[in-house]
């Protein structure tokens, strides 16, 4: 064997064995978590330490997946998206490392993914093809006398730099780490990305991407010998390189004060929208006890409106929100305390009050009951090991890299025993107060960042970019211009040249006949204990109960849904008749792993006119705390007090600001929902409950001021009495404790009033006719969406067609040639299709690409094998136990049976090229009768011309 075993140890908490190995020829290191996990994960990572703001390693992350020696297709990443059963496929750039993770439940598929990724990182074609750098990084685009800058990463980072949170964090790091790689924006600053040359880019790959630097991670029940054989073949002999010196520690510095402008919507006044950020060094990666304690302190001090730092500024009227976050996973973590939406002249008072409050907490002591409760909640989260968008294997990989990369123990962050026992004991010894004093009050490693709102920053950035381009082009000789034109032409030629059959044949892939013809079945048992309908999902949940309470809400109109959405923010945030607001956070954290409320809509999968609407309260708790959890849920549903005007006002302002930021950063999903609202009630409900319509409702309530809140409180009180009744309730329980479902039903049936409910023939929420709308965002990039009816949305053939349109048409024209960071097509079970772009430099171009889909399909003659495999993978996503229960609920409410899912799977597996091409007519009908919604800067909206009928400022 070409690997030497370094260490083996048991990790009982993970039911795993951790193996450490070293590759003999190159020195590459490997960690394998050997555990009974069906989803198998591979990741290869490299230390990558930036030395400027050009984003060189971010551009490399994109570019290595654009063809390699053994897989010389233009975009192996896209070919894998087309033809793999992967459960995760991506790459990520961090401040000091780049990782390339993949996962799959099929071991053959994982081997294919490994081979392609390993060849990509070690033998990329980027070293010989400047067009790859031009596409993924940046290049000059010449159109007559007009010259612009274009590139995928360039536009991605324009979107990132539109977020005030990101600007504040980047500037804090610059101030805290003047002497190390953390001072630089690893993703790239759009103002500096064009300073990177292709030669420097290629040299960075040669220097940093050598096997001696590689850190390889494997997870799951896999054949280690087979994986090692693939690695041994792929790791280039003789590429060990010189050992990297340790990443130096930054000595504590006072980073002083920085003032940074951020873009604010021109419909909001500049006054009252300054941000103050206080940044602190927080030790090193080895200080796990302290870092875990600081993570808990973030919640104790700022986790809700009753937390002391947030409460002191809210009550003083000096800020609308206060947050504290620990940024770890790096050699030297940081803590960032941020007061948001303050008056510019009051920032010194804000800082003084924060310091006085912290001093008082150190002297008088923290609320130790809350600290203990927060530690319980944090331990629950760490033991649950649910990474949100990332599979559990990737979550574990990030925890391993967060120590291993810096020479630490790769297992240091994997287990929580006996960490929390120690922290609970230290809480009672005054240790948390000492930590607070040392890190937040007496810390010499600190900085201060002020974010200043601007209505003109977007225009200023445009002007600065134009001036920079003019300065460059004014110096061009004829040879320089010819070289820029030649690179542009070469890039376009490379982008438009189809891969050869031989190149495509080099890509490893499964065959459709190797795919399980049956989709996964999620168990749902329908029962009626105590007269309440119950959806029970008996699944292994490791001692956790996931509870969803669905209160029917089809009779709520649009205004009611906006109120219901706001009510979701209030449950658990306001006091009850039994528990005052100041004590409620402690009870919540001691009882639940999570608690949240949402308005949810489920359109019918067969009858598209049908839509179920619910006010859903979701909670997770240990099985042993189910009694306590149900009692607290009953209290929240029956006794929440809505008569505190100050608290209502604070939550209203916070919700409005948060939703505005979400829309500005993830505008594609909001735009698709808005465009679909005219066609499907499900989208209309989502618009009122959390979309642009909801934001406008919140803006109107904010404009009315606090004096209008008593009337709103009365309406919310009436809505609670109307909704939270037995006759509206269906209980869903996902648990490995059989008695939990019946216990929940009995308790809730006894606690809730009977109420009355008449299920309307159709939902009360309606929407106007389809529109073509543009909404101005304080951003440098756009999001363009088009939605319309698509009756075949549940057909397997349509699912394959969607993959073909997405990857062969939209990706090629909008991302590759257009430079947008992302694009996509969504088919909803309710018979709706949506098209979108993400961080888009040219929304008008994207809309034209949508309208060109019918012509693309009429001419389509490609091989659909890869699209079939991709559609199968997409139809059977990897789900954690909580999400399995939630997905099973969704299928029940939509009327999506196991038989229908099996039929769709068979249709997918038997789709032909002719089936895909045959959707040209359907897509022509969709694009001809669709609604359009574009979010972005005004100049982009105006460039859309007749595609938009109205332009409104958000």
3 state SS for 97-158: EEEEEEEECCHHHHHHHHHHHHHHHHCEHHHCCHHHHHHHCCEEEEECCEEEEECHHHHHHH
For residue 387, what pLDDT is reported? 73
At residue 761's C-alpha, the angle toward residues 756 and 763, to 5°, is 85
Give residue 552's pLDDT.
96
pLDDT tens, position by position, 628-639: 999 999 999 999
Residue 386, Cβ neighbours under 10 Å: how many?
17
Q: What is the pLDDT of residue 477?
A: 95
Q: In sequence order, what are the beta bridge partners of 276?
A: 339, 450
SS3 792: coil
Structure tokens at 418: 């006996």
Structure tokens at 103: 């996962």
Q: What is the pLDDT of residue 513?
A: 85
DSSP for residue 74 = S
Strands 822-828 vs 92-93: parallel, antiparallel or unpaired = unpaired
pLDDT of residue 170: 97
Q: Report the distance separating Cα 764 and Cα 562, nearest Å.
A: 13
- Quick one: pLDDT at residue 577? 96
Can you give the pLDDT at residue 512?
Answer: 86
DSSP structure string for 738-757:
TTHHHHHHHHHHHHS-----
Structure letter (DSSP) for residue 40 = E
498's enclosing H/E stretch is none
Instruction: Give the torsion sign (CA, 853, 857, 863, 866).
Output: positive
Instruction: Give the pLDDT score at 463.
Output: 93
898, with CB counted inside 10 A (0-12, 13-18, 19+), is middle
Both tokens of 606, joined, read 């067969």
Half-sphere exposure for 237 (CA within 13 Å, toward CB): 5
Give CA–CA dist 908/512, Å, rounded: 10
Determine the Cα–Cα distance for residues 514 and 108; give it in Å rounded to an integer: 10
Look at residue 1 in the predicted model and tell me its pLDDT: 58
Residue-level pLDDT at 244: 85
* Measured distance CA(183)–CA(168) in Å, rounded: 13
pLDDT-flagged residues of the chain (< 70):
1, 239-241
- Calpha distance 334→278 (Å, rounded): 10
pTM of the model: 0.95
Structure confidence by residue, pLDDT tens digits, 483-541: 999 999 999 999 999 999 999 999 998 888 888 888 989 999 999 998 899 999 999 99
Residues 6+ apart with CB under 8 A from 834: 672, 675, 676, 785, 786, 787, 825, 826, 828
CA distance 195 to 832: 44
Output the CA angle 813-815-818, nearest 5 degrees.
65
- What are the residues whose beta carbons fall under 8 Å from the beta carbon of 280, sequence distance 6 or more? 176, 334, 335, 336, 337, 439, 440, 443, 445, 446
- Find where tokens 């192996």 sit: 76
pLDDT at position 637 = 97
Q: Which residues pair with 31 in a beta bridge?
A: 20, 217
Instruction: Using alpha carbons, select from 573, 576, 562 the residue that is nearest to residue 615.
Output: 562
pLDDT in tens, 304-360: 999 999 999 999 999 999 999 999 999 999 999 999 999 999 999 999 999 999 999
């Amino acid at each position: 064997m070409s690997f030497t075993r370094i260490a083996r140890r048991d990790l009982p908490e993970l039911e795993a064995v951790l193996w450490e190995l070293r590759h003999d020829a190159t020195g590459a290191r490997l960690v394998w978590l050997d555990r009974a996990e069906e989803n198998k994960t591979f990741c290869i990572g490299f230390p990558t330490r930036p030395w400027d703001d050009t984003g060189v390693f971010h551009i490399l992350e994109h570019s290595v997946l654009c063809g390699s020696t053994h897989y010389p297709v233009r975009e192996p990443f896209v070919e894998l998206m087309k033809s793999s059963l992967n459960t995760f496929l991506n790459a990520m750039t961090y401040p000091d490392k780049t990782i390339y993770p993949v996962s799959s439940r099929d071991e053959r598929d994982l081997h294919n993914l490994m081979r392609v990724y390993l060849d990509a990182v070690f033998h990329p074609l980027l070293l010989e093809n400047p067009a790859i750098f031009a596409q993924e990084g940046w290049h000059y685009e010449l159109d007559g006398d007009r010259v612009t800058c274009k590139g995928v990463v360039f536009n991605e980072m324009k979107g990132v730099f539109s977020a005030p949170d990101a600007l504040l964090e980047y500037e804090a790091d610059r101030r805290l780490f003047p002497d190390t790689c953390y001072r630089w924006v690893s993703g790239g600053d759009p103002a500096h990305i064009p300073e990177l040359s292709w030669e420097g880019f290629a040299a960075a790959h040669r220097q940093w991407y050598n096997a001696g630097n590689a850190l390889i991670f494997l997870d799951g029940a896999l054949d280690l010998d087979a994986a090692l054989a693939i690695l041994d073949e792929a790791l280039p002999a003789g590429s060990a390189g010189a050992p990297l010196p340790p990443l130096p520690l930054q000595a504590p510095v006072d980073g002083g004060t920085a003032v940074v402008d951020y873009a604010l919507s021109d419909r909001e006044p500049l006054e009252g929208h300054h941000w103050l950020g206080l940044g602190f060094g927080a030790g090193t990666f080895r200080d796990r006890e302290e870092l875990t304690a600081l993570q808990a302190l973030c919640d104790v001090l700022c986790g809700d409106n009753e937390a002391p730092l947030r409460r002191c500024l809210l009550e003083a009227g000096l800020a609308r929100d206060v947050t504290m976050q620990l940024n770890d996973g790096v050699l030297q973590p940081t803590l960032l305390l941020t007061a948001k939406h303050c008056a510019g002249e009051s920032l010194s008072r804000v800082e003084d009050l924060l310091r006085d409050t912290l001093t008082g907490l150190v002297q008088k002591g923290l609320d130790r009951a809350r600290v203990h409760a927060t530690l319980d909640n944090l331990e629950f989260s760490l033991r649950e090991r649910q990474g949100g968008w990332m599979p559990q294997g990737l979550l574990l990989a990030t925890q391993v890299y967060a120590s291993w990369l810096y020479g630490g123990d790769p297992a240091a962050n994997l287990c929580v025993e006996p960490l929390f026992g120690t922290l609970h004991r230290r809480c009672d010894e005054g240790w948390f107060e000492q930590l607070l004093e040392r890190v937040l009050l007496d810390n010499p490693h600190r900085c201060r960042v002020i974010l200043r709102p601007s209505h003109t920053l977007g225009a200023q950035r445009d002007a600065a970019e134009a001036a920079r381009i003019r300065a460059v082009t004014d110096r061009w000789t004829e040879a320089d211009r010819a070289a820029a034109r030649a690179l542009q032409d070469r890039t376009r030629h490379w982008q438009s040249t189809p891969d050869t059959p031989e190149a495509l044949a080099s890509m490893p892939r499964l065959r459709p006949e190797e795919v399980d013809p049956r989709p996964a079945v999620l168990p749902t048992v329908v029962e009626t204990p105590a007269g309440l309908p119950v959806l029970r999902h008996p699944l292994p949940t490791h001692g956790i109960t996931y509870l969803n309470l669905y209160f029917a809400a089809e009779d709520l109109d649009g205004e009611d849904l906006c109120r219901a959405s706001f009510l979701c923010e209030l449950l658990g945030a306001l006091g009850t008749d039994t528990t005052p607001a100041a004590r409620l956070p402690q009870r919540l954290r001691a009882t639940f792993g999570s608690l949240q409320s949402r308005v949810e809509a489920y359109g019918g999968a067969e009858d598209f006119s049908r839509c179920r609407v619910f006010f859903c309260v979701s909670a997770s708790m240990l099985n042993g705390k189910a009694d306590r959890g149900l009692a607290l849920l009953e209290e929240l549903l029956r006794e929440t007090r809505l008569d505190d005007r100050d608290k209502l006002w604070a939550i209203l302002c916070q919700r409005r600001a948060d939703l505005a930021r979400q829309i500005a950063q993830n505008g594609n999903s909001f735009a698709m929902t808005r465009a679909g609202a005219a066609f499907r009630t499900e989208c209309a409900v989502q618009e009122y409950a959390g979309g642009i319509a909801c934001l406008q409702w919140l803006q109107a309530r904010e404009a009315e001021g606090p004096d209008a809140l008593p009337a709103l409180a009365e309406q919310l009180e009436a809505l609670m009495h109307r909704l939270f009744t037995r006759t509206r309730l269906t209980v869903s329980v996902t648990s490995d404790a059989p008695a939990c479902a019946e216990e929940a039903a009995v308790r809730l049936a006894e606690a809730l009033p009977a109420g009355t409910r008449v299920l309307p023939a159709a939902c009360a929420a309606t929407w106007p006719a389809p529109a073509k709308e543009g909404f101005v965002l304080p951003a440098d990039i756009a999001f363009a969406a088009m939605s319309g009816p698509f009756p075949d949305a549940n057909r397997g053939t349509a699912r394959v067609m969607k993959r073909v349109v997405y990857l062969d048409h939209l990706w090629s024209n909008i991302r590759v040639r257009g430079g947008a960071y992302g694009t996509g097509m969504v088919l909803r079970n309710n018979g709706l299709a949506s098209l979108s772009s993400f961080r888009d430099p040219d929304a008008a171009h994207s809309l034209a690409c949508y309208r060109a889909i019918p012509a693309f399909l009429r001419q389509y003659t490609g091989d659909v094998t890869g699209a079939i495999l991709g559609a199968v993978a997409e139809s059977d996503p990897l789900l954690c136990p909580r999400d399995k229960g939630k997905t099973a609920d969704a299928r029940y409410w939509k009327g999506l049976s196991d038989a229908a899912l099996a039929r769709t799977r068979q249709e997918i597996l038997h789709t032909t090229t002719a089936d895909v091409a045959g959707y040209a007519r359907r897509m022509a009908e969709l694009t001809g009768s669709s609604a359009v919604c574009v979010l972005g800067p005004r100049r982009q909206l105006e460039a859309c011309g007749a595609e938009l009928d109205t332009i409104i400022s958000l």
